[in-house]
Structure 1
Amino acid sequence: MATSPAPNAHPQGHSLLRLTLMGLLAAIISALIPATTMLALSDYQFYASPHVGEVTGTALQNYAEDLPSALVAAFLWYIPIGTFVFPPVAKLVGANTGSSLARLIKFIVLAAVIWLVVGETIYVVLSPLAPAPPGVQQNDLITAALSGVLFAVI
């Protein structure tokens, strides 16, 4: 009588190559979302009343002019970390194993921590050159952690 093999109690994690490719794809998607939406949200004229044609046209023109630099900044923020830092660290700490919900929660926490540490490192390196006004660093670090969460969810 043949018996089927017992399922593994601990499913095997993803390979580093698979994590890296998934990280690259998630980084690209993660860069596109904030670059396009945050740029629109940051320009108060973008949502001006529609009866003012000049303001709307100017807002769209400003948006089109600023979009390439916003995309470059977003890609510089997401792709290096999401492709070259996050996958090896996830593999090293074992965040790539477990059930799907547990793995997602581990990825979210890990990504938030990594992006927070990278944001803090940028402030430590740049603060002697250009100190930030009070409160800006805290807001930027919260945004950095949230961008890591966005990356992990994607």
Structure 2
Amino acid sequence: MFLLDRPTLGATWGSTSADESRVDGFYLGTYTPDKRQIVLRDSSLVTIPDAWIEHAWSAQLTLLLKDTKRRAEGHYFNIPIPRQPGSESAYFIELADPDEPVMYYTVPAGWQAEFDALPATVTVAVKEKKQGSDSWEDAITIDTIKFSRAF
């Protein structure tokens, strides 16, 4: 018998795209935003796509040591919003309710947050720095977007 050094086994994950989630059988449905565009301080527009949600999953090994995915507790909410070309840090998104779970930005999926239960709506705040040299901690909310479950 030998010990497998697999620190990612047991961790929960989200898919990198809605198509991958569908193929793997974790996809649940779509959330629609209450607005389709936001204007950044430099007057550039960001198009807001539909968001999607899936069951969280975790990696496991079969008896034959083959990697597989199995459904886990929780859900991953995804906004497949690309970063602005040439402006990697023009804005960021966070949950508008500070008591909600921690969010993070992933590539290529866009923005992703983990929820314990399936939410009816998700409201996010879009934030920008006042000046390029400011800290992200001093960023201001320029808009909010409410995503509503469409399934």
**Normalising by structure 1, what TM-score?**
0.26
**Normalising by structure 2, what TM-score?**
0.27
